[in-house]
Amino acid sequence: MNQNTDLTDPTTYYYDADYPSETLGKFPENFDSTTSFQGIARDVPRYLELAREHGGPILEVCCGTGRVLIPLARAGFEVTGVDISDGFLTQLRQKLEAEAPETSGRVKAVRQNATELSLETRDFASAIFAFNSLLCIPDFEAQRAALRRVAGHLRPGGLLILDLVNPLGLKLAGDGVAKPFYTRKNPHNGNTFTRFSMCDALDEGQRQRLHGWYDEVDSGGRLSRRHYSMFWRPIFRFEIELMLEAAGLRIVRNEGGHQKEPYTSQSAHMLIQARKS
């Protein structure tokens, strides 16, 4: 399990700058071309479209700071967001305070481990694991447990929407050298930072360590450096099919991105829709 559970962890602290929202960001310049490479430039409109097709209530598992959850609530959907991290949930609650009361009134934010998910509501119309969130539970059995738990909270016929990076496009043997990824503004203080990143080779558990550092320059020109490290566990196409089947979910669509592209081996993503039988 990744242990980035409080705001002092760099991956939590820099999250909104690393993965900016087009509509929630304090610094619009953070929403640059890199967001397409990251796979978050067009995902929120697609979730809104799917939500309009399938209705609510919606469960967002691993909701983070609300990048997806808040636009869904703004659009009128009842959304329950679950995350394991106090740091992420603190930032989500701060953002909800700035929203209209009708919007924040539609949101429940719950701290739970997805692998042990247990909520009162068990008839969600849909559940979302956005932006590689399932991969951030970097253990095969834990991923399977999370899928089983989430399926148990869907109504019969309910839909699971799962966004996974296509591992066929990843550097699975690692890249061996840290490189500058991007320079952006820190939304907590406005300072400029540069993130450097690298990845290790997949290990025997099919996990990959993503690590590097953030170099931030304050208003006096002083440089501070913070190291980050996290694991993810990429999942392959036929592996996820079997994992979903074992959780009582059947794939009804697998798109290669957020604009309904057909999935191919070259696709950056697998945007999977799976139905509870």
Ligand X SMILES: C[S@@+](CC[C@H](N)C(=O)[O-])C[C@H]1O[C@@H](n2cnc3c(N)ncnc32)[C@H](O)[C@@H]1O
b/e per residue, 91-129, with b = 16+ CB within 10 A?
Answer: bbeebbeebeeebbebbebeeebbbebeeeeeebbbbbb
**At its nearest, how many Å lie between ligand X and the CB of residue 222?**
30
Given candidates 34, 35, 80, 85, which one binds ligand X under the rule CB under 6 A? 85
**At its nearest, how many Å lie between ligand X and the CB of residue 143?**
9
List the interface residues with ligand X, window 227-246 (CB under 6 A). none
83 binds ligand X (CB under 6 A): yes
What is the side-by-side order of every strand in the sheet holding 107-111?
107-111, 79-83, 58-61, 124-129, 154-165, 269-276, 249-255
Q: How far apart are CA 132 and CA 176, in angstroms?
A: 22
114 binds ligand X (CB under 6 A): yes
132 binds ligand X (CB under 6 A): yes
Which residue number has the CB closest to ligand X? 64
Q: How far apart are CA 66 and CA 90, in angstroms?
A: 11
Q: Are 249 and 219 in contact (CB under 8 A)?
A: no
113 binds ligand X (CB under 6 A): yes
By beta-carbon proximity to ligand X, the closer residue of 41 and 62 is 62
150 binds ligand X (CB under 6 A): no
Q: How far apart are CA 74 and CA 96, in angstroms?
A: 10
List the interface residues with ligand X, window 5-64 (CB under 6 A). 19, 62-64
Given candidates 38, 91, 103, 115, which one binds ligand X under the rule CB under 6 A? 115
Interacting residues with ligand X (CB under 6 A): 1-2, 19, 62-64, 67-68, 82-85, 88, 113-115, 130-133, 136-137
